[in-house]
Amino acid sequence: MSSPSRRTSTPGALRVLPGGRTRAGAVWREGDPLGDRKLCDIGPLDLETGGHLSAVRLAYETWGTLAADGSNAVLVEHALTGDSHVTGDRGPGHPTPGWWGTMVGPGRPIDTDRWFVVAANVVGGCQGSTGPSSPAPDGRPWGSRFPYVTVRDQVRAEVALADALGVPSWALVIGGSMGGMRALEWAVMEPDRVRAVAPVATTALSSGDQIAWAHAQLAAIRSDPAWHGGDYYDVADGNGPLAGMGVARQIAHTTYRSAFELDTRFGRRAQDGEQPLGGGGRFAVQSYLDHHAGKLVGRFDPGSYVALTESILSHDVGRGRGGVAAALAGVTARTAVVAVDSDRLYLPEESARIAAALPGSPDVHLVHSDHGHDGFLIEIEQVGAVVRDLLESPA
């Protein structure tokens, strides 16, 4: 009797290019619809580790109107696989709806009728900003030649964008997860330009545990035969390491949700119509992870996943500054440190360490959620209340 077949298909979608070639995900390239994004060429960028980018472009979006004195600007920082499309519909140029549309918009906690909101795709990204898929000076994609970019490098690029937009200072810099890392770096690097900061579900430095989870994700992508050492962009088949990035996303997504949610929502239930015990089928939780892997490979670039994960590994606000406590002691912005009580990626204890090191040792705003790390995207009523209070508090 033959054994049941196993699933071997790669989740997600490929984009068809002229001549039948394909490319992974929905990497934005010249000639694609701009959508709501704008492009700003900020010039060369010298990098913290000694590398250099001779020409950097940032894709960004804005909402609302900048006041004459520039006093009403808010910077929203995206997480690992986010981009500049914080709020707005899916459409040409935007493969997904805004990732924080319940937080940003008219009448929402960050009210675009009052605030001029800016969001930029980070250096290393794949939605219009300079990254591994972008053309290098020789016209070929950067690929494996793309230099190591740290969180501080990303913030320095955003400083140049703020200058180009005529923003003298931010009324608020806010971000969750990787975005919270950049928010903290802004407050430390540019204290005179940040009047309030909200690091959400994040950490002051990447821990050994977080580096370990990231290592497995990087290994999944780099071990995919289609990785080609990072130079898959102009390989004949053009598919890229989609299977590897799908596995990386499954590893990551497990850390984004809580054990309680996965157990209560899925438990050991079989996926509808499938037989996981000896039948080659899946448990429902496996199908759920496959679904999220497929969603990502349809909208993201594996090279950017690697570059941005490495930037997360670089994160340590205390590096070269006498340690975390010494670095955060120099923050002058009003602060609201937000943690999610069920977060198992960036534990609430790490937010408590941030708060303890800030001037005045503010309390941590603990958001209750059954959803784990992703609670910062889901529990908008709780997070939004903190953000409203911070924006309304006296300067």
Burial class of residue 96 (count of CB atoms within 10 Å of its CB; 0-12, 13-18, 19+): middle
* Tokens standing for residue 46: 């010298």
DSSP letter string over 212-226?
Answer: HHHHHHHHHHHTSGG
Rounded Cα–Cα distance for residues 67 and 207 (Å): 40
* Tokens standing for residue 261: 């949610």
Rounded Cα–Cα distance for residues 194 and 71 (Å): 11
Closest CA to 213 of 38, 373, 40: 373
Rounded Cα–Cα distance for residues 291 and 40 (Å): 34
* Tokens standing for residue 135: 């053309």
Residue 186 in contact with residue 75, Cβ under 8 Å? yes
Residues assigned a catalytic role: 177, 343, 373
Closest CA to 12 of 309, 289, 275: 289
Rounded Cα–Cα distance for residues 297 and 240 (Å): 10
What is the distance, to the nearest Å, from the Cα of residue 361 to the centroid of all Cα atoms in its chain?
A: 27
DSSP letter string over 297-333?
Answer: HTT--HHHHHHHHHHHHH-BTTTTTTSHHHHHHT--S
Rounded Cα–Cα distance for residues 62 and 171 (Å): 15
Rounded Cα–Cα distance for residues 132 and 109 (Å): 34
Could you give the dihedral angle defined by the CA atoms of residues 323, 329, 330 and 332, in that order, rounded to the nearest 10 degrees? Answer: 150
Rounded Cα–Cα distance for residues 359 and 163 (Å): 28
Q: Which residue has the tokens 């009047």?
A: 195
* Tokens standing for residue 320: 């070269």
Rounded Cα–Cα distance for residues 160 and 31 (Å): 25
3-state secondary structure of 48: coil
